[in-house]
């Protein structure tokens, strides 16, 4: 039996979901209030064009002008937003769901093994788990208030390091020497990565391992320029960091980025909370090598932080699908739903909890970056510290003249 191409099979699944789309394809520089978007977080579950159904939000507070620093805002002019977010599961959901599509997606699987696994999937609960996941991720939209994080920083009066420690995210002023071309040259090819990961049975993982080595060690502008800028920023918010391990590439996203490089519009986190499981089950990040270094040095903490920012060629404040972030201090272990995609790794979804609080930074510029935790393990703890769930959402300040989002996410591990 010939292996089913991953993208073709995914397209088939999306067709089954039958979600309507009112989006339009745009170039990265195009301007529209209703751009075509698709998820591109590092989990195949969320790579879907059906995320365009997000409900447009409205302001709670008054609009305010562009702020280049969080301290410029104040609680009196906070630009809070009322909206509905997809991807928040019901509070009674299980903590783990199995989505086993290896029988259809992984090359090198024998014919009869495919038949048996496919039979189990359709008749022993696998299809039901998938349908529940699709419903929770794309059909279920929960009303939330997204608070102005600039106003919150001003109200709290904490240092950047203290705010990051308390909430799990913080904004920094960061005028980068990177050019628009530099960001493009440092982009990961996630589609090729997935293909090579699926071909490991044929080549023993040679192509995949070569690409992961390039992710870590290639000669890119990010490696020579941005990595050094990031190291300096880390010292301002995590001064206890003893070693920083920046990769050579990140993910450049834009409005027309498609399945792999469009904004992610479903609430998610990319990793679980069990270090050993995350190490063994994630095809997109070299956790195995990072954990080996962590164990060798006997460092007390391992942390993966994401540096997310709008980038050149953007020239206007970001109002095209900014990110919002869940205050990690409002999150508990029981709020998380682990979605086990077998070969394609783990993804983390979020259960509804009225105590959750979401924040965003209005009108970010290319001279600002939000740093947020995605994984944080402290030695001798049984599980990792709470991560920061996040998603893109439509800013109500956007209109037909709004500049399309171009952004870059850069995931950096560190030891402390």
Instruction: Encode pLDDT of 185-219 as tens digits.
Output: 999 999 999 889 888 888 999 999 999 999 999 99
Looking at residue 22, what is its pLDDT?
A: 30
- Rounded Cα distance between 106 and 104, Å, is 6
Q: Which of 116-120, 239-243, 258-262 has the highest mean pLDDT?
A: 239-243
> Would you state the structure tokens that stand for residue 312, as one six-digit string?
């050149």
Q: Where are the beta strands (DSSP E) in 71-192?
A: 81-86, 88-89, 96-98, 141-148, 169-173
Q: Mean pLDDT over all residues of the chain?
A: 84
Mean pLDDT, range 117-128, rounded to an integer: 90
Contact 142, 134 (CB under 8 A): no
Q: Is 2 left (phi over 0), alpha (psi -120 to 50) or beta?
A: beta
Contact 171, 362 (CB under 8 A): no
* pTM: predicted TM-score of the whole model, two decimal places: 0.82
Looking at residue 191, what is its pLDDT?
A: 92
Residue 278 confidence (pLDDT) above 70? yes
Q: Percentage of the chain with pLDDT > 90? A: 65
Mean pLDDT, range 387-402, rounded to an integer: 95
Can you give the residue ranges of every domain in the chain?
Answer: 6-415
Residue 2 confidence (pLDDT) above 70? no
Helices first, then strands: H and E counts in the chain: 15, 16
pLDDT higher for 19 or 45?
45
Residue 31 confidence (pLDDT) above 80? no
């Amino acid at each position: 039996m010939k292996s089913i191409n991953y993208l073709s099979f995914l397209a088939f699944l999306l067709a089954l979901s039958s979600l309507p789309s009112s989006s339009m394809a745009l170039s990265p520089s195009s301007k529209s209030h209703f751009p075509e978007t698709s998820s591109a977080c590092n989990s195949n579950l969320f790579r879907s064009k059906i995320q365009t159904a997000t409900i447009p939000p409205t302001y709670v507070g008054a609009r305010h002008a562009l702020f280049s620093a969080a301290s410029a805002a104040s609680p009196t002019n906070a630009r809070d937003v009322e909206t509905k977010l997809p991807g928040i599961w019901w509070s009674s959901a299980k903590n783990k769901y199995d989505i086993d599509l290896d029988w259809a997606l992984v090359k090198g699987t024998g014919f009869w093994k495919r038949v048996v696994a496919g039979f189990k999937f359709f008749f022993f609960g696998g299809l039901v788990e998938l349908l529940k996941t699709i419903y929770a991720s794309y059909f279920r939209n929960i009303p939330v208030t997204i608070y102005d994080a600039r106003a919150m920083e001003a109200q709290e009066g904490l240092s950047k390091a203290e705010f990051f420690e308390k909430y799990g995210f913080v904004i920094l002023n960061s005028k980068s020497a990177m050019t628009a071309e530099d960001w493009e040259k440092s982009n990961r090819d996630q589609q090729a990565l997935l293909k090579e990961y699926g071909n490991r049975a044929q080549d023993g993982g040679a192509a995949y391992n070569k690409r992961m080595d390039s992710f870590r060690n290639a000669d890119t502008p990010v490696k020579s320029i941005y990595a050094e800028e990031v190291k300096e920023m880390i010292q301002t918010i995590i001064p206890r960091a003893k070693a920083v391990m920046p990769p050579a590439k990140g993910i450049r996203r834009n409005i027309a980025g498609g399945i792999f490089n469009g904004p992610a519009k479903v609430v998610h986190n990319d990793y679980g909370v069990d270090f050993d499981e995350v190490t063994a089950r994630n095809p997109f990040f070299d956790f195995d090598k990072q954990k080996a270094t962590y164990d060798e040095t006997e460092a007390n903490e391992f942390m993966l932080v994401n540096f997310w920012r709008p980038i050149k060629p953007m020239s206007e404040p970001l109002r095209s699908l900014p990110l919002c972030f869940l205050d990690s201090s409002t999150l508990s272990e029981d709020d998380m739903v682990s979605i086990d995609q077998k070969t394609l790794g783990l993804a983390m979804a979020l259960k509804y909890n009225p105590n959750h609080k979401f924040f965003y930074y209005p009108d970010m510029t290319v001279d600002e970056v939000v740093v947020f935790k995605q994984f944080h393990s402290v030695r001798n703890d049984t599980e990792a510290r709470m991560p920061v769930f996040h998603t893109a959402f439509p800013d109500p300040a956007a209109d037909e003249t709004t500049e399309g989002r171009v952004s870059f996410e850069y995931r950096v591990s560190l030891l402390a």
